[in-house]
A and B are shown apart, each in its own frame.
Chain A
Amino acid sequence: MSVAASPAAGRENTSPGRPPALELRGIGKAFDGRPALADAQFSLAWGEVHAIVGENGAGKSTLMNVAAGVYAADEGEQTIDGAAASPRSPMEATAAGLGMVHQHFRLVDSFTVAENVLLSLGRRGAVRTIAQAGAAIIAKAREIGLPVDPSRVVADLSTAERQRAEIVRVLLLGARILVLDEPTAVLTEDEAKALLSFVRRLAGQGHAVVLITHKYREVAGFCDRVTIMRHGRTVLAGAAVSGLDEAEVARLMVGEALPAGSRPLSSAGPVVLAVAGLSVEARPHGQGLAGIGFDLRAGEVLGLAGVGGNGQEELVSCLTGLVLPQSGAILLAGRDVTTVPPRERRRAGLRVIPSDRFDSGLIRDFAIADNLALSRVADGAFGALLFLRRGRMRQTAAEAIDAFDIRGATPTVRTGLLSGGNAQKVLLARELDAGMTVLVAHSPSRGLDMKATQFVRTAIRRAVEAGAACLLISEDLPEVLALSHRVAVMNRGAIAGCRDIADVTPEWIGALLAGHA
């Protein structure tokens, strides 16, 4: 479903006949059998700023990772400046002139900027000492108009400064094509504007820049062309920005029609979870919580959509009780549990499905029966005095395996050996128990196949119909839309908009996801 593009008139200074800086044709890539890219196309001209836009999982980063040598494509062709290229490592890509600035910078935190550059440049070339590295950095910084102080330690730099250091490092390695992956995600508005202006200037000096982003509106004013991807395919290749309508872009990103799944909420019950003004300091490369607040009622599903990295992890950690917030309150059925340990929250009916099931949910080396019993042993469900009733644990496990149709499992099988879907079922079997009143589900069907995903959604739906409440946090937009009664978007550690499902339109949600408050 590609829309052919005509080269933009005006801001481009590619002389006719000059080959494109980067061209990707028919790129296909699958991980472990699951397709990430299918017949993806991309074409980049010298001197232009080109945005690749799309929802999470659309394949934008994957495509550029292929171009930058991080992944090898299963099929398709790539050319850099007209010559065929298939870089098998980032170093090869950089040698060919393509450098990528990832979301997680490849910098050694405790080194200075100059030391990091020296490390990358290695033993080749003219830069041999820290002093020479410093001089090279200052010269390049001046040349491109980006302030970077070579003597500062990376750990002390702000994220914006770190990003600038990384950009200079990549350029010093010889990149003429610069690919930036979600560069504005971690910047304030002013910083983002400064970066985008710089990118514009850089292109004007003869480089070519690719911006991978989901925030279309932010970059629209600085780009020449746009490519939109969805589900691993290119749905709009290299269209001139001037000819595009914002709403149209939002719709193309999200899809023509929303999956039917909206149902009216007959009557919302009492508020079972209230979060107000919750703030958590940001971790070094993360996003904290900025006074987030919302109410959750019995019998409803509140879906928090939004790209990861906007504070979702921190919110879940706070709600679980693993992290204490700096300020704000969490009320569970009216009771203040902000500083209360996880055990008490569980007793009050809180259940959590974390996004990484083996990180804080299940214990990989435990038998299924043990994982299922994990949360109830402390309450004496399997032996109140001394003796641990393993027989009872096995019995309970056998029942759960039956009820949840967990394949490849007996109570004594090590949980780490199960497939993703079955392991998730174990987690669900444990969490969706009789005492549950509030379920916090973070990306519950991530990494699961169709069947398992259906199972998870049905289980949640049933639990909510029985009177529980669910806070669904997911990057998978169709999932959020399919299950939720109300939909909100999480952005920069706070809620940016909330509506009943019946009032959600592609434009509204596309706009919020793209970063418009």
Chain B
Amino acid sequence: MDFLVGWIAIVPSYATPLLLASLGLIVCERAGILNLGAEGLMAVGAMTGAIAVLSGLDPWAALAAGAAAGTALALLFGLATVVMRADHTLSGLAVVAVGLGLTSVVGRPYMQKTFPGIASFGDLFDIDRTTALGRIVAVQDPVTLAMPVLVALLWWWLMKSGSGLRLRAVGENPAAADVAGIDVQLAQLGAVLVSGLLCGLAGAYLCVATSHVWVEGMIAARGWVAVALVIFARWNPARALVGALVFGSADALVPRLQAIGADIPVYLAMMLPYLLTLVVLVASSMAGRASGEPSFLGRIYLRQDKH
């Protein structure tokens, strides 16, 4: 029971970065731009967040700095894919390389230096930690609790608002959107920048709030898990929440087991999230029919081509 409560308590903080990244990717891909660069965007966000805190900024400013860094790298990605119409897959991989490489070079002096993270509710308020609920709430921070709200807002904007409708049209049928007077490229660029912001924030949160240290390679393919999560979520923010919780749970299991001193083969256990992702991907693909994939995802739109 104790184990369970302890586990549930940390799941949200593991799910949050996955969710933030997935939401960013959903916005980007709904506009038709396949974004494989999440890993690199998260890395620059993480590193920037760490540097910010180590330079004396308060953790919240560090989160913002991380988001800004992600947006900056995403600008490069947007320039390549939206303006220069480069292949999405290769551009995404290049962005991962740039992100990982840059953070490795620039972040070297800041490695392995721990720092305090953002305040949890237990720090801010006086919460009764004797109850299970109390213990769970005490460990949460404002960001994790804001997640469901963010999901709801994003879902509403995407599905119910006029601008969300226009964004989705760009990803489904850019020819129709173009004819309706929508600026396809502007919409796509905006979506790319949003994805950079959220992925950068995800990385910053992972570093500043969860790990409290910057280590090279700390993103550990979570960016790729986010890419897979988007497919599982059928490009729907609400389902992304479910997916992130599932993966966050798997991700949180290993440290929890280690914390209670369980004798498990650590590295084999760490395979769990990745294998789980794979299984879920297969299940999603088997479900077939309504995959929800934006019809023009990954394809280059040129008005002069015949549509």
Contact = CB atoms under 8 A, between A and B. Distances in A.
B165 A119 contact: yes
A113 B176 CA distance: 14
Interface stretch (A123-131, A194-202, A271-279): A123-131
Contact of A108 (B162, B169, B181): B169
A118 interface: yes
B295 A110 contact: yes
A174 interface: no
B172 A119 contact: no
* Residues of B in contact with A, size category: 10 to 19
A110 B162 contact: no
B173 interface: yes
A130 B160 contact: yes
B179 A108 contact: no
A119 B180 CA distance: 7
B88 interface: no
Nearest to B175: A106
B239 to A, nearest CB: 16
Contact of B176 (A107, A118, A122): A107
B166 A119 contact: yes
A513 to B, nearest CB: 27
Contacts of B165: 111, 115, 118-119, 130
A416 interface: no
Interface string B4-31: 0000000000000000000000000000
B162 A123 contact: yes
Contacts of B160: 130
Contacts of B177: 108, 119
B168 interface: yes
Contacts of B175: 106
A130 B166 CA distance: 12
Given A110-B295, A120-B180, A129 B172 contact: no
Interface string B103-135: 000000000000000000000000000000000
Given A90-B179, A108-B176, A119 B295 contact: no
Specify the main secondary structure of chain B where it touches its partner.
helix
Contacts of A130: 160, 165
Given A91-B179, A106-B179, A119-B180, A111 B172 contact: yes
A122 B181 contact: yes
B301 to A, nearest CB: 14
Contacts of A110: 168, 172, 295
B181 A91 contact: yes
Interface in A167-182: none
A109 interface: yes
A359 to B, nearest CB: 13
Contacts of B182: 119, 122
Contacts of A119: 165-166, 169, 176-177, 180, 182
B183 to A, nearest CB: 12
Contacts of A129: 162
A19 B118 CA distance: 74
B145 to A, nearest CB: 30
B172 A109 contact: yes
Contact of A109 (B173, B179, B181): B173
A124 to B, nearest CB: 9
Contacts of A118: 162, 165
B180 A111 contact: no
Interface centre among B168, B175, B180, B295 (most CB of A within 10 A): B180
B79 to A, nearest CB: 27
A102 to B, nearest CB: 11
A122 B173 contact: no
Nearest to A118: B165
A111 B169 contact: yes
B179 A111 contact: no
Best-buried of A108, A118, A122 by chain B (most CB within 10 Å): A108
Nearest to A105: B176
B168 A111 contact: yes
A66 to B, nearest CB: 17
Interface string B144-156: 0000000000000
Nearest to B292: A110
Contacts of A115: 165
B72 to A, nearest CB: 30
A265 to B, nearest CB: 41
B172 A106 contact: no
Interface string A77-92: 0000000000000110
Nearest to B163: A123
Nearest to B166: A119
A459 to B, nearest CB: 29
B180 to A, nearest CB: 5
Contacts of A128: 162
Nearest to A90: B179
Interface in B277-305: 295
Nearest to A89: B179
B295 A109 contact: yes
A107 B179 CA distance: 11
A91 B178 CA distance: 11
Contacts of B180: 119-120, 122
A118 B165 CA distance: 9
Interface string B163-206: 00110110011011101111000000000000000000000000
A211 to B, nearest CB: 23
A356 to B, nearest CB: 12
Contacts of B181: 91, 122
Contacts of B169: 108, 111, 119
B182 to A, nearest CB: 8
A107 B177 CA distance: 10
6 contacts: A106-B179, A122-B181, A122-B182, A123-B162, A128-B162, A130-B165
Given A110-B172, A122-B180, 12 more contacts: A90-B179, A91-B181, A108-B169, A108-B173, A109-B172, A109-B295, A110-B295, A111-B165, A119-B165, A119-B176, A119-B177, A129-B162
- In order of increasing CB-CB distance, the 3 nearest A-B pairs are A108-B173, A108-B172, A106-B176
